[in-house]
Amino acid sequence: MSLTRFVFGLSLLSLALALQAQPHPQNYPSKPLRIVVPFAPGGSTDIVARILADRLAGPLGQSVVVENRAGAAGNIGGEAVAKSAPDGYTLLMATTGVMAINNALYKSMTYDAAKDLEPVAFTTSITNVLTVPPEVPAKNVAELVVLAKAQPGNLSFASSGAGSSTHLSGELFKSLAGIDVLHIPYKGSGQALVDLMAGRVSMIFDNMPSVLPYIRGGKLRGLAVTGAKRSAAMPELPTIAEAGVPGYESLSWSGIAVASGTPKDIVQRLNREIAGVLAANEVRQKLTELGAEPIGGPPETFAAHVRAEREKWSRLIRERNITVN
């Protein structure tokens, strides 16, 4: 056999193996899928993931399991998906932090969300709620701003962790309201809420599903929501912008992302099936009761939202010189 024929044969073999290794969209999915949640079980991101997993199994014809990979503000789970095979079987419950905040906040990252993760579907948007304990005399946002300006550095706000959406919601509030409030980071919102109810911290900007039971139970006082519009779950609460801080908007959002390089047909199939789940009346009702707004839309809509959020939060992190240990 001539060298030319030998090399040609090797090339054909390599091509065949490469084609064999690629996913075949027309046969997708042919095995179970998993949704990686980059946080511990029980939070709003985990709840939304489990609603999706339960209802995607039917239209996809395969089981969909949820895998919690918590740690490093979502970076452990994000890395797991970013470095997974681009075949549509490993999905990420992508969040504000993982997709739009962490790359600007952390000096050393093992992946780049902008390059290594591909947006598939915008699933939900969850407003945070500016919440205070009963001991804080402010009954509305304007009174809270006056109180903070009268006691610069004496008030504090809790967050579920440095770099979280609850942290940056507070930093944005400080910036736009022109106040000095001390940030107290916690490892999750559970202990933060315990200390808030005990009066050890002055306020929190936490996800509505977390604080809603305490506000309704009278243990905490909700002052305003952080979104651009009022929430159907608590329509009596104004937005922070309409309550006296113009231009304020901060949302915790989630969606589905996959490893970059996943075939477009698979991305479109996932987007279509997720849209069907989000359109179901019982799903919309369940999410609304949790304080989450179902979104949907094509992959391009989610990608544009991620880019805008990344620019917004990166700019705030630079301007406020926000760092994490």
Task: List pLDDT tens digits, range 153-193.
Answer: 999 999 988 888 899 999 999 999 999 999 998 877 888 99
| Residue 233, domain member (yes or no) | no
Domain limit, last residue, from 225, 259, 283: 225
| Residue 12, domain member (yes or no) | no
Q: Are residues 295 and 209 in the same domain?
A: no
pLDDT category of residue 2 using cuts at 50, 70 and 90: low
Any idea how long the chain is? 325
| Residue 15, domain member (yes or no) | no
Specify whether the CB–CB gap between 85 and 259 falls below 8 A: yes
**Side chain identity, residue 222:** G
Question: Both tokens of residue 91?
Answer: 């999905």
Rounded to a whole number of angstroms, the distance between the first and last alpha carbons of the chain is 63
Residue 220 CA to residue 214 CA, distance in Å, equals 6
Q: Are residues 258 and 211 in the same domain?
A: no
Burial of 129 (0-12, 13-18, 19+ CB in 10 A): buried
Place of tokens 């701003």: 145
Q: Are residues 137 and 212 in the same domain?
A: yes
Parallel, antiparallel, or unpaired: how do β-strands 90-95 and 251-259 relate? antiparallel
Asked if the model's pLDDT at residue 211 lies above 60, the reply is yes
Q: Are residues 62 and 137 in the same domain?
A: no
Helix (H, G, I), strand (E, B) or coil at 203: strand
CATH code where residue 133 lies: 3.40.190.10
| Residue 269, domain member (yes or no) | yes
Residue 289 CA to residue 78 CA, distance in Å, equals 28
Q: What is the largest CA-CA distance in the chain?
A: 90
CATH code where residue 61 lies: 3.40.190.150
pLDDT value for 163: 80
Task: List pLDDT tens digits, range 249-258.
Answer: 999 999 999 9
* DSSP symbols for 99-145: IIIHHHH-S--SS-HHHHEEEEEEEEEEEEEEEE-TTS---SHHHHH
Bridge partner list, 224: 130
Domain count along the chain: 2
pLDDT category of residue 5 using cuts at 50, 70 and 90: low
Q: Are residues 121 and 179 in the same domain?
A: no
Q: Are residues 171 and 189 in the same domain?
A: yes
Domain limit, last residue, from 225, 259, 277: 225
Q: Are residues 117 and 151 in the same domain?
A: no
| Residue 230, domain member (yes or no) | no
| Residue 290, domain member (yes or no) | yes
Average of per-residue pLDDT across 5-31: 58
What b/e string do you get for 34-65 counting C-beta neighbours within 10 Å, with b at 16 or more?
Answer: bbbbbbeeebbbbbbbbbbbebbeeebebebe
Task: List pLDDT tens digits, range 215-237.
Answer: 999 999 999 999 999 998 899 99
pLDDT value for 279: 97
Residue 291 CA to residue 126 CA, distance in Å, equals 6
pTM of the prediction?
A: 0.82
Residue 313 CA to residue 92 CA, distance in Å, equals 21
The residue range of the domain holding 285 is 32-126+251-320
Between the CA of residue 1 and those of 8, 12, 254, what are the distances in Å?
11, 16, 58
> Within 10 A of 146 (CB to CB), how many other CB atoms are there?
14
| Residue 172, domain member (yes or no) | yes
Q: Are residues 55 and 43 in the same domain?
A: yes
Q: Are residues 276 and 290 in the same domain?
A: yes
Domain limit, last residue, from 181, 210, 225: 225
| Residue 195, domain member (yes or no) | yes
Asked if the model's pLDDT at residue 87 lies above 90, the reply is yes
Task: List pLDDT tens digits, range 23-79.
Answer: 456 799 999 999 999 988 877 889 899 999 999 999 999 999 999 998 888 899 999
Q: Are residues 115 and 43 in the same domain?
A: yes
Place of tokens 């395969």: 62
